[in-house]
Amino acid sequence: MNHSHGGHSILLVDDHPLFRKGAAQLLALDPNFELLGEAASGAEGVEKALQLQPDVILLDLNMKEMDGVQTLQAMRAAGVDSLLILLTVSNAEQDVVRAMSAGADGYLLKDMEPEEMLAKLGQALRGQTVIHDSLTGILVKAMRADSHAPPGEAALTEREEQILRLIARGMSNKLIAQELAISDGTVKVHVKNLLRKLNLRSRLEAAVWALERDKQ
């Protein structure tokens, strides 16, 4: 994924000029990242995402017109395959759950320390699902309260179980495929099947569920 320009490329989509400026300064300090572009709205973000094809897109959740989740859905529908990470001031349960159900690769709060933010971006690029530490509990609680709470022990095949553990370690399909020496396509099919069996909507829910289960 390394571009010749040295760092991982990032597109920042946020309607606050001040926050964009701060984030740009932060990213400029780290040679691992390169800010490829900025967008002040969801619609502009979708356009730039297609044009620039960055490694990571940081999306503000609370934007006028199109919010972060709608922007994320529009990007995925348009075929954007960058990592999509929501940045927000909100740790409201319904926001977190909406974002994750829409397939966000991460959910970070804007009040993080700058160093922590850079560390989490690094984790995301290594194929981990990143979520602000204070939010894991919210997700677990939301999943329990959900009518589609996963069954205690759905019958997963050995392969699905393996893949679930790797998802819980934060690995992307590509990394799982390499680890198990199978194709990306095969991993996708297994992930789809195990989500269906466990009655879960997203990889992140699966990761959280597996971590909870293995704690017991």
List pLDDT tens digits, range 41-77.
Answer: 999 999 999 999 999 999 998 888 899 989 999 998 9
Task: Classify 3 as helix, strand or coil.
Answer: coil
The span from the CA of 42 to the CA of 70, in Å, is: 8
The CA-based dihedral angle spanning residues 41, 45, 46, 50, taken in that order and rounded to the nearest 10 degrees = 160
| Average pLDDT for 108-121 | 86
CB of 30 closer than 8 Å to CB of 7? yes
**For residues 162-179, average pLDDT:** 86
**Token representation of residue 37:** 């572009």
**68/96 Cα distance (integer angstroms):** 11
Residue 93 has pLDDT above 50, yes or no: yes
Task: Out of 3.40.50.2300, 1.10.3720.10, 3.50.50.60, 3.40.605.10, select the CATH number for domain 8-141.
Answer: 3.40.50.2300
The order of strands in the sheet holding 8-13 is 33-39, 8-13, 56-60, 83-88, 106-109, 130-131
The proportion of the chain whose per-residue pLDDT surpasses 90, expressed as a percent, equals 32
The answer, as to whether pTM is greater than 0.85, is no
CATH of range 147-215; options 3.30.2310.20, 1.10.3720.10, 3.20.20.140, 1.10.10.10 = 1.10.10.10
Q: How many CA atoms lie within 13 A of 135 on its CB side?
A: 26
Helix (H, G, I), strand (E, B) or coil at 8: strand
The pair of structure tokens assigned to 200 is 């879960």
Q: Structure tokens of 52?
A: 């620039």
Return the top range by mean pLDDT from 34-38, 143-147, 185-189, 198-202. 34-38
